[in-house]
Structure 1
């Protein structure tokens, strides 16, 4: 790479793309040059908002157009599009979570990228924010002693409350586990190491109703489980409970708690980069906020893309690794298989899908 800014392109111009673009446009080392979407009118509108070119998808999937491709399309398209970008020899590829919907595809994608020399980074990038960095430092320093257990809890009414077209979040391989689970599982992997499944259960509340936008009041069906509870464990046999639900009206339960021999850490929602970290020492009735670790990256979606761009310049691995992302895909499918043993441990691979954004 030369000293010029890394040319980034966004594939998929849905709601989250605006957040990414805002982050990328704040950094002089990255230039958002182009975008593409199956809905070209949507790409044109996005390009006008963020001062970049709207290209056909095939034109964007070319190293002559970009140095770094950001894939923000629906999950079922991630494997195919990432493979196309790697085959085209685009130097760096960033994929929204989950990296794929198939564990075998995730493993194959990592091998393909390594063989081609393509840098592959995968969301979530919230582990680059001050909240998880602060928690990681506290654990490394032994603030709460030896970890004895942990709990992760996502209790929500579901995206139909705020998203005008929420059905995609309830498609097969989505639901609270497939859509939001990567934030929680990646955070646990980052803080405690790789996990394995001991037991799980899942249920589905099939009928849903859109609560916002032009289709408010319209009913739709959920294909994915809307409530999942799992018992996991780390390599050191530390038990971890995970609950992910789109069926809860409200909750006061912490998103993440880690319990040790000397105290407890309470973490904020891992869907976001920042938030208060509370520490309650053993025997104390009071919790106090920990000073936040200072980081150099913005606390917003797209921070991982900025790191990937720097990794491309510095010829190093990105911090948001595809290996961790692949572990979360394997874990997600292991949870669903444990919850419903009749499901295959490895789903049939889906290689062909439209490239519309979400």
Structure 2
């Protein structure tokens, strides 16, 4: 069985489980009440487009589930053909499901439409994961994924789901949301940028000085494995002392809480992937190439600039890409010490027992990480192509 077929079957299984077993949403009369679960059967009972959508999606799932269960040669062939076709039919499903869920109302429940809301439950997120997994196994899967996510995000943005809990939470904090989003992105990217040069130099030192290698890699590993909250606490103490005793430090806005400690900790966390990849990149350059450059009369600086660095650059860039992706997630913890970012919204939602606010703060972080990963991967491929350098990722250890 091909790996793509396995992914498609797993995606189909997730979609079936989400519709048949788990609630897709929950109707909540207000922000505090847990709400009434809304399962897939609620769509079948709905009239108009809700009923048509529910019965149509249910019929497709039933047919594919039967073929999946039969495990016959004919069933596998037919299922494989459906898997090739249905991903293109599934891309509007999550977005349409948002509209339908937003309009569902339980019978016999008193509520005020101004404060009532529909929260998305595990079933919807599992369905979305199943659809994305199913689409990733199809031809032009990347295009399908972009279409699905774009449509799913565009529908709430267009105001078609006014009673969705995520939309109501967003409208309550609209001004703060974009400020924290910008702060999150600036903090994540700035700390990576500052870590790039030290990381490359440390990697080069590991390559040139084997005796220092264990000490350098041990130090950057220590920053990586240390609990983030502990490291934040340790950094806050000296910064607090400095800001109180050195006026110029306080004038620069460096204090024990806020941007400065978060920036320092995130920079330290970025050192390991960049340093380790830089060392691997420099180390994979064959000694004969370096010897040939030295025999031509090149100095150590020229060898580094014209030979070592260009050949090691693909691996170094891969480490920077890893650092960016993980740093977007780590920046959430800046919200604990007043550093801002989406972590401020997430921890606010946790303190107020508002899961929808937590999700609202989490979704942009996931989308930013995925988007930056894709952008850096594309930039990596183009830069490497222009430089005319190739490398063996397995040999490089990435």
TM-score in terms of structure 1 length: 0.29
Please state which structure has a larger fraction of its residues in helix. Answer: 2
- Rg: which structure is higher? 2
TM-score in terms of structure 2 length: 0.27
Which structure carries more relative contact order (alpha carbon 8 Å, separation 6+)?
Answer: 1
Please state which structure has a larger fraction of its residues in strand. Answer: 1
